[in-house]
Amino acid sequence: MTIGDHLDSFHGLPVHTFPVPGAPTDDLPEPDSVAWRITSDVYDADEDWPVAFARFSAAVDTTRVKALVVGAWQEAYETDPSGVIEALLAARDRFPALRAVFLGDIVMEECEISWINQTDVSPLLAGFEALEEFGVRGGTGLEFTALRHGALRKLVVETGGLPVGAVRGIGASDLPALEHLDLWLGTPDYGGDSEAADLEAILSGARLPRLRHLALRNSEMQDAVAAAVAAAPVVDRLEVLDLSMGVLTDEGAGALLSGQPLTHLKKLDLHHHYLSAAVEERVRQTLEAAGVQVDLDRDDAEEDTEDDGTVWRYVAVGE
Amino acid sequence: MSTPSTARPVSPHTGPRFAVVGNPENRRVSLFADAVRAAGLPGPRVVAWRDVLREGGACFAADEIVRIDSPGENSEVDRLLRGDAEPTLVEGSARWYAGFTAALRTLRGGVRLDDPGELAVLFDKRACHGVLARAAVPVPASPTSGPDGAAVRGWDDVRTLMREHRMPRLFVKPAHGSSASGVLAVESGGAGRIRATTSVEIAPGGALHNSLRVRRYDRERDIAAVVDALAPDGLHLERWVPKASQRGRAADLRVVVVDGRATHAVVRTSRTPLTNLHLGGSRGDLAAVRDAVVAAGGRWPDLLEVCERAASCFPGTLCVGVDLLPAVGWRRVFVGEVNAFGDLLPGLTGLPGSGAEDRDTYAAQVAAALRTPAAAGLLPPHRTGTPHA
């Protein structure tokens, strides 16, 4: 699977794409009623992203804008969004109401997730101290320098391979308001070089006192992640645990079930898994009876078995 | 060339009559025959490609309305057209093309619904692209377009053209391929990354096969091996326009144009860059496409007009199937290909307002063929006017 659709909502608001150059702007929605998607093109851009952003800033009352979705920037397959981040930081005084930013709403046909170049995104967060929600797509070159951010409630990092440096940087950050953390760990093929031990700072929960929703997913080492989660202190405070989209097999699910009780969860998401029917049933019996909503949709998780018996299993979003 | 032995048919029927050159066992032929009979006419005379090729041609009566259909999906015909290549081999398309265009020239007489010269263009993607570009039909940029296009002798030439034309992402297509046969979607990025998505499979011995599974190659030497093997048959390069999506799948449209009017359309969606239905693509939602076009500030009739403009480059061909590529965001469209035999959409009725609302693509063509002056002239006086039983 790949990312096929642009975001249609973000930060609880419908996404509205700011019109291309030359298109009418006299019928735009109220500035605070939508999440504004500002986009260039990955290929053959007529207008670089910062220029599109300047056009947007001139056409809309930026003091009322709550949410921005950064779409494609020019040549994202070999250019990181430093220019995008600079443009946003330079404009921060004109966006006092901005609470949410998504960096890189780019779909497969534009540039596949593992090809999107990223950079250190911490300066963006540091620059927007009131930001409550931040999302980023693409793992190549992605860095997350450890920081303290007092307002951030939701952090989403979508990758086909999340570099270990970024994993550790997030773990070392003080995020006292963070309620929702969603990391797509990906595969080593696409730069996902962390190990389960690198998640320890996150799993301790020491710097994440308000965490309620933890997703550590889309991982080739989903079994090891599940085993680590099974004994993690942070689980106690969670309402939603999401280990979906990865290569979760009976081994990981077994470790999860034999660890600390999960019956306090509202939801356990394991969709896109490689569990046997027997283990699926065990998960259901253990948790559904306790009132936990369990998502065990196999989705498009399909094994390939070669003639020599080698079995290939895939994460949901790699490429 | 031997004398065609196909007997000129003698029929007591005095109204219009059809003939079809095709593979008799193929459903394209039976669907067309059904449409002819549904119009109250006797079934068409079926002239088998196999016989045309073995006997060196076929003749048609001056009043026979002749449809040419695909010679595909018949291994014997394929072998006769290519000379003895294995049918799943990707290579050999140049021989196939030479055989096919030569065979077209052996068909004589009749009222023709297809023009051999235009078919020769439609089955050469470089020539077709050139014709469309000269007619100002929006097409993805191509360095191999038309008679002045660059020749591609192998992967090194592809690399050079990618660099010179700033095309880091492109489609590499056999000039004479059909469906997605032999097509590679190639993308290159920083740090020497490269990837090709294709249905071509490299067999253990190094031979190339078409498969029904889309696979990816990310080692340049594998990609080079595939391209080098395909290149002697001719290659067409085209910029990969990022396609719009529908429910998470890349979408394009197949629009059938009959006698100048866009009559039928389907949406094809896929999780890979190749949307062909036999490669795991599926039909999408046409109404949702219209909505998306309108939401992006466009007009649906404008899309159909682009298809009709593409078809008008082939005035001697009654029906073509246009592959229309909506660019990401639904704000622009490009014509990907124009297909001579792009009408196999069984059971699909026409677009509202197209005049083919109750007709499938075959019935629409029969009706259009009967409207042409040549065909109308064939109607004896007592058959004109209101039809009767």
Q: Quote the minimal CA–CA distance from B182 to chain A in Å.
A: 20
What is the model's pLDDT at position A306? 73
Mean of pLDDT values over A265-279: 97
Check CB contact of B329 with chain A, cutoff 8 Å: yes
Separation in Å, CA of A104 to nearest CA in chain B: 15
CA-based torsion, A226, A230, A234, A235: positive or negative = positive
Mean pLDDT value across residues B328-355: 94
Supply the pLDDT for residue B117.
97
Closest chain A residue to the Cα of B165, Cα to Cα: A44
Percent of chain A with pLDDT over 70: 100
- Taking all residues of chain A, what is their mean pLDDT, rounded to a whole number? 95
Strands (E) in B14-131, as ranges, are 17-22, 45-48, 58-68, 107-112
Please name which of B388, B373, B338 lies closest in space to residue B65, comparing C-alpha atoms: B373
Orientation of helix B220-230 relative to helix B155-164, angle to 10°? 110
Give me the torsion for CA of A260, A263, A264, A265, rounded to 10°: 100
Nearest residue, CB atoms, A5 vs list B187, B241, B248:
B248
Q: What is the rounded distance in angstroms from the CA atom of residue B39 to the CA atom of residue A274? A: 55
Smallest CA–CA distance from A78 into chain B, residue: B190
Q: Using CB atoms, which residue from B239, B297, B328 is nearest to A109? A: B328
For the four alpha carbons of B118, B121, B125 and B128, in that order, the dihedral sign comes to: negative
Q: How far apart are CA B161 and CA B149, in angstroms?
A: 11
A18 Cβ under 8 Å from any chain B Cβ: no
Q: Which of A1, A2, A189, A218 is nearest to A108 (CA)?
A: A2
Looking at the partner chain, which of A75, A78, A109 has a beta carbon nearest the beta carbon of B242? A109
- Closest chain A C-alpha to B297 CA, distance in angstroms: 8
Do A41 and B189 make contact, defined as CB atoms within 8 angstroms? no
State residue A310's pLDDT score: 81
pLDDT at residue B379, rounded to an integer: 46
End-to-end CA distance of chain B: 44
What is the CA angle A278-A282-A285, rounded to 5?
135
- Among A24, A78, A107, the residue with its CB nearest the CB of B245 is A107
pLDDT band at B334 (very low <50, low <70, confident <90, very high): very high
Q: What distance in Å separates residue B242's CA from the closest CA in chain A?
A: 5
Whether residue A77 and residue B249 make contact (CB cut-off 8 A), yes or no, is no
pLDDT of res. B84 = 67
Instruction: Provide CATH code, domain A9-252+303-312.
Output: 3.80.10.10
> Residue B207 corresponds to which amino acid?
A
Closest approach of chain B CAs to the CA of A232, in angstroms?
A: 35
**Paired residues of B83 in beta bridges:** none
What does the pLDDT look like over A200-249, one tens digit per residue? 999 999 999 999 999 999 999 999 999 999 999 999 999 999 999 999 99
Residue B277: pLDDT above 70?
Answer: no
What does each C-alpha distance from A28 to A6, A16, A36, B91 come to in angstroms? 20, 9, 10, 53
Q: Is the pLDDT of residue B188 over 80?
A: yes
- Give the residue from chain B lying closest to A115, CA to CA: B189
| Residues in B 225-244 with any Cβ partner in A closer than 8 A | 239-244
* Residues of chain B neighbouring A41 (CB-CB closer than 8 A): 242, 328
How many Å apart are CA B58 and CA B103, to the nearest integer? 9
Q: What is the mean pLDDT of residues B208-237?
A: 91
For the segment B309-332, the average pLDDT, to the nearest whole number, is 95
In chain B, what residues touch A75 (CB-CB under 8 Å)? Answer: 168
A51-93 per-position pLDDT tens digit: 999 999 999 999 999 999 999 999 999 899 999 999 999 999 9
Question: A222 CB contacts (<8 Å, ≥6 apart)?
Answer: A243, A246, A247, A248, A249, A252, A315
Q: What is the pLDDT of residue A316?
A: 92
> Could you tell me if A297 lies within 8 Å of chain B, comparing CB atoms?
no
Query: Could you tell me which chain A residue has the CA closest to the CA of B166?
Result: A44
Q: Are B229 and B208 contacting, i.e. CB atoms less than 8 angstroms apart?
A: yes
Selected residue of A108, A116, A272, A299 to mutate for chain B interface (largest B Cβ count, 10 A): A108
CB contacts, 8 Å: A76 with chain B: none
Q: Which residue of B has its CA nearest to A116?
A: B189
The residue-averaged pLDDT of B102-107 equals 97
Report in angstroms the alpha-carbon separations of A52 from A39, B24, B45, B332: 7, 57, 61, 18
Q: What topology is assigned to B243-373 in CATH? A: D-amino Acid Aminotransferase; Chain A, domain 1 (3.30.470)
Is the model's pLDDT at B382 over the cut of 60? no
Higher local confidence (pLDDT), A255 or B85:
A255
Domain parsing of chain B, residue ranges:
17-112, 141-239, 243-373
The answer to whether B248 faces chain A, any CB pair under 8 Å, is: yes
Query: With a cut of 0.85, is the ipTM above it?
Result: no
User: Distance between CA atoms of A222 and A251, rounded to whole angstroms?
Assistant: 10
- What tens digit of pLDDT does each residue of A19-56 get? 989 888 888 999 999 999 999 999 888 899 999 999 99
Task: Please compute the mean of the pLDDT values over residues A168-186 and round it to a whole number.
Answer: 98
Q: Residue B243 and residue B241: Cα distance in Å, rounded?
A: 6
By percentage, how much of chain B surpasses pLDDT 90? Answer: 71
Q: Which residue has the higher pLDDT, B308 or B208?
A: B308
Residue of A nearest to B195 (CA): A319
A110 touches chain B (CB under 8 A): yes
| Minimal Cβ distance to A107: which of B168, B239, B328 | B328
For residue B280, the model assigns a pLDDT of 63
Q: Which residues are within 8 A (CB) of A181 and not within 5 positions of it... i.e. 6 or more apart?
A: A154, A155, A170, A175, A202, A208, A211, A213, A214, A215
pLDDT score for B388: 35
Of residues A184 and B11, more confidence is placed in: A184
pLDDT of residue B3: 43
| Cβ of residue B280 closer than 8 Å to a chain A Cβ | no
Report whether pLDDT(B369) > 70: yes
Across the interface, whether the CB atoms of B193 and A42 are under 8 A apart is answered no
Model confidence band, residue B62 (pLDDT cutoffs 50, 70, 90): very high
Give the residue, A116 or B14, on which the prediction is more confident. Answer: A116
Question: Is pLDDT of A184 > 70?
Answer: yes
pLDDT at B48: 98
Residue A225 phi/psi, 5-degree rounding, is -65, -45
First to last CA, chain A: 8
What mean pLDDT do residues A1-21 have? Answer: 91
Mean pLDDT of B104-114: 97
Q: How many CB atoms lie within 10 A of CB B111?
A: 22
User: Which residue, B367, B350, B333, is CA-closest to B40?
Assistant: B367
Please give the residue of chain B at the shortest CA–CA distance from A190: B193
Chain mean pLDDT for chain B: 89
Residue A39 near chain B (CB below 8 Å): yes
Cα separation values, B101 from A103, B82, B123, Å: 52, 12, 9
What are the chain B neighbours of A112 within 8 Å (beta carbons)?
Answer: 187
Q: What is the nearest CA distance from A90 to chain B, expressed in angstroms? A: 28
Say whether B168 and A41 touch across the interface (CB within 8 A).
no
Which pLDDT belongs to residue B86? 63
